[in-house]
Amino acid sequence: MFKAKEIMKTGVITVKKETGIYETIRILMENNITGLPVVNDDMTLAGIISEKDVLRLLYDMEDKPGNVENFMTKDVITFDQEDSLIDIAESLIKNDFRRVPILEEGKLIGILSRKDIIAYILKLRHKDKESD
């Protein structure tokens, strides 16, 4: 069975709840990513901040500083590194998010996106074609 740990990205860029929202937007843009885990000092997950969350800034045209905590999604579906890729793919199909944090003993150790799983499918299928 294929597991999250086989293809998850490690060395994940993260922010803290106290990180300014505009600094977070800069991090998203500079790294060409669509979302970031928000972590506590002990690397436990506090939430996720995504492009979708940031879009709320458009509703308030006044330039009010704020922290990530004011915009992040707090109820986040997570998976363990030993969880099945099939279970993770099902969750990504059923839900409206693009990535899931991967935890070990409650602490963030990686992230897995739709694109990561799609690339893995291509890699697996390409191997099948080579053996024909």
Q: What is the pLDDT of residue 131?
A: 55
Tens digits of per-residue pLDDT, 101-128? 999 999 999 999 999 999 999 988 877 5
pTM above 0.75, yes or no: yes
Q: What rounded mean pLDDT belongs to the chain? A: 91
* Confidence (pLDDT) at 34: 92
Kindly tell me the sign of the dihedral angle through the C-alpha atoms of 37, 41, 42, 44: negative
Domain spanning 4-130, CATH architecture: Roll (3.10)
- Residues 50 and 5: beta-carbon distance below 8 Å: no
Q: What are the residue ranges spanned by the domains of the chain?
A: 4-130
**Can you read off the two tokens belonging to residue 3?**
């597991």
Residue 20 has, within 13 A of its CA and on its CB side, a CA count of 6
Residue 4: is its pLDDT beyond 90? yes
**To the nearest whole percent, how much of the chain has pLDDT over 70?**
92
